[in-house]
C-alpha cells in the first residue's frame, strides 16, 4: 500500500497524516476502544506519500537527542506551582515564551472536559495547560496552526507527549530556529472514551454534572497523585490508585496499543527539554524536596539550553545526575508492560454497566497511606533516610 494505512496499530494517533494530506482523504476515526486511527479514502488517494513522510512511526530516528544535563527544578512562585503537576517547569516555559510575544501549544480541557491541544497567546490562559491530563489529548489542527505561526516568524513552544512532539517534527519536515519543544516523561494514555464514561459515571453517582477535573490536585496532600473533581455544589478528592479510572491508568491496562511498544520510552528524547516528576528527589536531594512539587528537567539540545536559561530566573534549580532522575522512572528505560487483561479491558466499554464493573479492590497499602497525614509520611521518610546513613 502506498499510504498511511500500513501503520496499523503502531499508530500513535498524532493526526499529522490527516493534517498533511493534500487531498483531505484521511479521516481520524475512533475504534471501539475510543482511540483515533486514520482511515483513508483510497478512491481519492493520489499516492503522493506525503502522509508517510509526515508520520513519526515511519521515521523513528527523527529529532532524537540524548540529555546533556539533568536538573531538579521548582517554580519560586507558590501560587503558580500549586496549579502545576510537578515543579511547574512546563508552565514556566510557557510563561517565558508568552513574555516574548510567542505562542504556546498544550493540552487543555474543553467545556465537556474532553482534552485537546489548544493555542494560547496570553499569560492569563496558562492555567488551562497546567496539570497533567491522564488521557490522550487530541492534537486537533495544532500542527498546522504551529506551522503557520512559524511561517509568520513567531516564536512557538509546543508541549506534549514524546510521540506528539515527534509527530510535530515529522509534520513540519524541517527544523525552525523559532520552535521550542517539551516532551513529557510518559507511561501511556487511556482513551478519551474511557475518560468520558468515567465522568458520566461519577456525575451520576454524585448527582450533579462534573464541571472541573484535576488529576494532580495539590490542595489536600500536596505534590502526589490525588485527583479532585468539582460539581456546582460538591467536590471529591482521593488518591488516583483508589479510583476506578486512576487505578487502571496507574496499572496500565487501558493504554493505547502503541504505548506498549513505545519507541520513545528511553533516553533518546524528542523534545528540546524533557520534563517529568522528580520522584527520586527525597532520596538523592532531600533538601530540595518540597511538598509543592519538584520537576525533573533534561536539557536535550542547544535550544533546550537556551529555554532552560530563560526559565531559570523564575525557579530554584539544582543539577542532578541522570541516574538520580531515573529512580522510579521505568518509562525512561522501557515501555509499559502490556498486562494480560488488556485484551478484555475495553471489550465491554459500550455496555451501560461498564464503569460499575471496574473494581478498585482492597488496595490495603494505598488505603493506609492515604489515611496517614502527609507531614507524618514526610517525617517517616526523613527518619528512613537518617537510618540509611
Ligand atoms: C499521559 C501522561 C503520562 C505521564 N507519565 C509520567 C511518568 O510516567 N513519569 C513522570 O515523571 N511524569 C509523567 N508525566 C508528566 C507529569 O505528569 C507532568 O505533566 C510533568 O512533570 C510536567 O509537570 P509541570 O509541573 O512541569 O507541568 P505543568 O505546569 O503542570 O503543565 C502541564 C503540561 O503537561 C502538558 N499535558 C498535560 N496533559 C497532557 C496530555 N494528556 N497530553 C499531552 N500533554 C499534556 C500540558 O500541555 C503542559 O505543558 C505524564 C504526563 C502525561 C500527560
Ligand atoms: S498518499 Fe497522499 S493523497 Fe494518499 S492519503 Fe497519503 S497524503 Fe493523502
Ligand atoms: S502516527 Fe500519526 S501520522 Fe502516523 S498514522 Fe498515526 S496519526 Fe497518522
Ligand atoms: S507511551 Fe509512547 S506512544 Fe503512548 S502516549 Fe506516551 S509517548 Fe505516545
Most informative mutation of 3, 11, 62 for ligand 3 (most atoms within 8 A of CB): 11
- The 10 Å Cβ neighbour count of residue 385 is 12
- Give the pLDDT confidence score for residue 363 in this predicted structure: 81
- Is this prediction's pTM over 0.95? yes
Nearest atom in ligand 3 to the alpha carbon of residue 163 is 1
CATH annotation of 4-58: 3.30.70.20
User: Pick the residue with more confidence: 368 or 235?
Assistant: 235
pLDDT score of 389: 61
> Is the CB of residue 262 below 6 angstroms from any atom belonging to ligand 4?
yes
pLDDT value of position 370: 81
Cα of 49 vs centre of ligand 2, distance in Å, is: 6
Whether pLDDT at 361 is above 90: no
Integer-rounded Cα radius of gyration of the chain? 21
* Residue 358 per-residue DSSP state: -
pLDDT at residue 122, as a whole number: 98
8 A C-beta contact, residue 41 and residue 24: no
3-state SS, residue 118: strand
Q: Which atom of ligand 3 is nearest to the CA of 14?
A: 2
Ligand 4 atom closest to 258 (CA): 3
Which residue reads 513540519 in cell numbers? 172
CB atoms within 10 A of CB 214: 20
Return the pLDDT at 165: 98
Residue of higher predicted confidence among 257 and 369? 257
Specify the pLDDT at position 378.
77
- Residue 79 is predicted with a pLDDT of 97
Q: Would you tell me how many other CB atoms lie within 10 Å of the CB of residue 5?
A: 17
Burial class (CB in 10 A: 0-12, 13-18, 19+), 205: exposed
Tell me which of 7 and 371 has the higher pLDDT: 7
Domain boundaries defined on the chain: 4-58, 65-381
| Cβ(26) – ligand 3 distance below 6 Å | no
Range 324-343 average pLDDT: 95
C-beta 186 within 6 A of ligand 4: yes
- Residue owning the nearest CA to atom 2 of ligand 2: 48
CB 191 within 8 A of CB 35: yes
pLDDT at position 1: 64
Average pLDDT over residues 113-120: 98
**Atom of ligand 1 at shortest range from CA of 215:** 17
Q: What is the pLDDT of residues 245-303, one digit of tens each?
A: 999 999 999 999 999 999 999 999 999 999 999 999 988 999 999 999 999 999 999 99
pLDDT at 243: 96
CA-nearest residue for atom 1, ligand 3, is 11
Pocket test for ligand 2, best of 47, 57, 58 (most atoms within 8 A of CB): 47
pLDDT tens-place string over residues 9-55: 999 999 999 999 999 999 999 999 999 999 999 999 999 999 999 99
Ligand 1 contacts (CB < 6 A) are 84-91, 106-107, 115, 129-135, 137, 159-161, 184-187, 189, 275-277, 295, 329, 331
pLDDT at position 304 is 98
Beta-bridged to residue 30, according to DSSP, are 36
Q: What is the pLDDT of residues 163-197, one digit of tens each?
A: 999 999 999 999 999 999 999 999 999 999 999 99
pLDDT value, residue 372: 81
Mutate which of 56, 137, 171 for ligand 3 pocket (most atoms within 8 A of beta carbon): 56
For residue 365, pLDDT beyond 90: no
Confidence category of residue 379, pLDDT binned at 50, 70, 90: confident
pLDDT of 384 strictly over 80: no
Span 123-153, pLDDT tens digits: 999 999 999 999 999 999 999 999 999 999 9
pLDDT at 146: 98
Rounded mean pLDDT, 315-342: 96
Mind listing the pLDDT tens digit for each residue in 84-115? Answer: 999 999 999 999 999 999 999 999 999 999 99
Amino acid at each position: 500500500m502506498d499510504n498511511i494505512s500500513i501503520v496499523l496499530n503502531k499508530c500513535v494517533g498524532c493526526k499529522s497524516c490527516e493534517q498533511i494530506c493534500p487531498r483531505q482523504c484521511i479521516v481520524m476515526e475512533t475504534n471501539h476502544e475510543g482511540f483515533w486511527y486514520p482511515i483513508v479514502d483510497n478512491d481519492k488517494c493520489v499516492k503522493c506519500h506525503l502522509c508517510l513522510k509526515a508520520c513519526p512511526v515511519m521515521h523513528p530516528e527523527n529529532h532524537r537527542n540524548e540529555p546533556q544535563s539533568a536538573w531538579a527544578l521548582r517554580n519560586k512562585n507558590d501560587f503558580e506551582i500549586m496549579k502545576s503537576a510537578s515543579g511547574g517547569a512546563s508552565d514556566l516555559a510557557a510563561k517565558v515564551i508568552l513574555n516574548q510575544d510567542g505562542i504556546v501549544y498544550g493540552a487543555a480541557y474543553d467545556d465537556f472536559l474532553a482534552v485537546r491541544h489548544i493555542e494560547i497567546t496570553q499569560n492569563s490562559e496558562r492555567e488551562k495547560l497546567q496539570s497533567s491530563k491522564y488521557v490522550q489529548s487530541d492534537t486537533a489542527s495544532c500542527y498546522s496552526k504551529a506551522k503557520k505561526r512559524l511561517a509568520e516568524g513567531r516564536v512557538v513552544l509546543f508541549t506534549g507527549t514524546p510521540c506528539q512532539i515527534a509527530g510535530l517534527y515529522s509534520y513540519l519536515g524541517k527544523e525552525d530556529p523559532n520552535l521550542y519543544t517539551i516532551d513529557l516523561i510518559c507511561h501511556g494514555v487511556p482513551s478519551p472514551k474511557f475518560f468520558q464514561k468515567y465522568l458520566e459515571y461519577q456525575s451520576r453517582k454524585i448527582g450533579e454534572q462534573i464541571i472541573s477535573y484535576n488529576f494532580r490536585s495539590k490542595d489536600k496532600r500536596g505534590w502526589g497523585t490525588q485527583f479532585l473533581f468539582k460539581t456546582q455544589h460538591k467536590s471529591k478528592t482521593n488518591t488516583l490508585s483508589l479510583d476506578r479510572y486512576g487505578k487502571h491508568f496507574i496499572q496500565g491496562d487501558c493504554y493505547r496499543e502503541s504505548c506498549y511498544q513505545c519507541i520513545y520510552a528511553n533516553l533518546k528524547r524528542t523534545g528540546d527539554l524533557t520534563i517529568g516528576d522528580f520522584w527520586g528527589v527525597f532520596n538523592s536531594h532531600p533538601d530540595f524536596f518540597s511538598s509543592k512539587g519538584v520537576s525533573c528537567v533534561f536539557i536535550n539540545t542547544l535550544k533546550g539550553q537556551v529555554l532552560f536559561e530563560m526559565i531559570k530566573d523564575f525557579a530554584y534549580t539544582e543539577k542532578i545526575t541522570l541516574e538520580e532522575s531515573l529512580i522510579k522512572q521505568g518509562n525512561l528505560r522501557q515501555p509499559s508492560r502490556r498486562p494480560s487483561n488488556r485484551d478484555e479491558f475495553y471489550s465491554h466499554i459500550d455496555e451501560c454497566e461498564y464503569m460499575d464493573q471496574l473494581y478498585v479492590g482492597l488496595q490495603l497499602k494505598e488505603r493506609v497511606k492515604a489515611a496517614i497525614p502527609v507531614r507524618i509520611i514526610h517525617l517517616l521518610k526523613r527518619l528512613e533516610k537518617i537510618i540509611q546513613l
